[in-house]
Amino acid sequence: MNSPAKRGETDFMKLIMSDYKVEMIKDGTREFHVEFHGPNDSPYHMGVWKIKVSLPEAYPYRSPSIVFVNKIFHPNVDERSGSICLDVINYRWSPMFDLVNVFEVFLPQLLLYPNPSDPLNKEAAALMIRDQKEYEKRVIEYCERYAKPEDDGSTSTDDTEDESEPGDDDNDDEG
């Protein structure tokens, strides 16, 4: 087994041992879903999202593909595809990072500190700039509708099931 494949399996196991709920998509550790809870002290705190993770063959030298499966209202997340605009995952990735970093640092930071000046969701960015309270109200509405703890919200993506898998673009999104 080559070093990148071994590293991918090691990072996968570290993620499971960090008490994240992980569900393999196919056999193997290259594609899986992770249950992600919104960070406290944010309007996302009551949301629970299913995150699809796909590890490229060259992982950890190439970044994982990280996609929200259920909908989220956020300036840096494309509402339709679930792809994210986050420098550290898209083009500043380093082999020093691992999957636990993604879920314990990078995604919480994304939700705590949205960047409306570099949006994938222009509506969310404009609302955040124009009316912060209304933006937070919309975030909470999305959490209640699409990211409830008792259901992973996957029914909210039925309209994308017939299309290519979200995140198959290998993180080439702008952002």
Nearest-CA neighbor of 153 among 71, 46, 38?
A: 71
Q: Is 155 helix (H, G, I), strand (E, B) or coil?
A: helix
**143 included as an active-site residue:** no
pLDDT, position 3:
79
The structural domains of the chain, with segments of one domain joined by +, span 3-148
State whether the Cα torsion 60-166-145-136 is positive or negative: positive
The residue-averaged pLDDT of 56-70 equals 95
In CATH terms, the superfamily for domain 3-148 is Ubiquitin Conjugating Enzyme (3.10.110.10)
Of the pLDDT bands very low, low, confident and very high (cuts 50, 70, 90), residue 175 is low
Query: pLDDT tens, 79-134?
Result: 999 999 999 998 899 999 999 999 999 999 999 999 999 899 999 999 999 999 99
The residue-averaged pLDDT of 43-57 equals 96
Judging by beta carbons within 10 Å of its beta carbon (0-12, 13-18, 19+), is residue 135 exposed, middle or buried?
buried
pLDDT at 158 over 80: no
Of the pLDDT bands very low, low, confident and very high (cuts 50, 70, 90), residue 26 is confident
- The sheet carrying 65-68 orders its strands as 22-24, 31-37, 48-54, 65-68
Catalytic: which of 48, 85, 120, 143?
A: 85
Question: What CA–CA distances, in Å, run from 175 to 50, 94, 98, 111, 163?
Answer: 21, 17, 21, 15, 23
The DSSP result for 35-58, as a single string, is: EEEPPTTSTTTT-EEEEEEE--TT
What is the C-alpha separation between 22 and 63, in angstroms, rounded?
Answer: 19
The residue-averaged pLDDT of 11-25 equals 93
pLDDT at 136 over 50: yes
Question: What pTM was estimated for this model as a whole?
Answer: 0.83
